[in-house]
Amino acid sequence: MYGIDISEEMLKKAKEKVLDTVTLSLGDAEHLPFENGKFDCLLCTDSFHHYPTPKRAIAEFCRVLDTNGYLILADFWKPFPIRQAMNIFIPFSNEGDVRIYSKSEIINFLEASGFQDIQYRNINKSGYLVIAKK
């Protein structure tokens, strides 16, 4: 298993919690340091709203997934009009957030990169889960 984060602080926290068999690396989801087709499953949690170029991240997820591999994407979400209001103020926050994406935006990103069998579920009032096949 592999884990990647752009934040050294988050990697330090992860190293305290994961097994020694997990390889953790400092890196960027929009430029993954792995060869093509390396993984049969990729899990992306609680970070998609931080990506400045989400289409690039999705394309990278697709690149590192093996044929018929699966992407599991879970992240923060809010319904309209709360999402629109939050997206207005996000640029002024210090949290590193970029944008909270709508269901249709997420599905469009995935389809544009060739993902299929896209299953989107709202988990609760503030989260979603997507499973998509390459």
| Strand-by-strand arrangement of the 127-133 sheet | 39-45, 65-76, 127-133, 116-124
> Which has more pLDDT, 89 or 67?
67
Residue 33: strand, helix, or coil: coil
Other C-beta atoms lying within 10 Å of the C-beta of residue 74 = 18
Residue type, 105: E
> CA 6, 7, 12, 15: dihedral to nearest 10 degrees?
-30
Decide if 59 contacts 36 (C-beta within 8 A). no
Q: How confident is the model at residue 93 (pLDDT cuts 50, 70, 90)?
A: confident
Average pLDDT over the chain reads 91
Closest C-alpha to 78, from 56, 49, 55? 49
pLDDT digits (tens, 9 = 90+) for 20-32: 899 999 999 999 9
Q: How confident is the model at residue 116 (pLDDT cuts 50, 70, 90)?
A: very high
Structure token digits, residue 54 = 């989400």
Q: How confident is the model at residue 77 (pLDDT cuts 50, 70, 90)?
A: confident
Q: Could you give the domains of the chain? A: 37-133 (3.40.50.150)
- Range of weakest confidence among 22-26, 40-44, 85-89, 129-133: 85-89
User: Do the strands 23-26 and 2-5 form a parallel or antiparallel pair, or are they unpaired?
Assistant: parallel
User: Do the strands 2-5 and 39-45 form a parallel or antiparallel pair, or are they unpaired?
Assistant: unpaired
User: pTM for the whole thing?
Assistant: 0.87
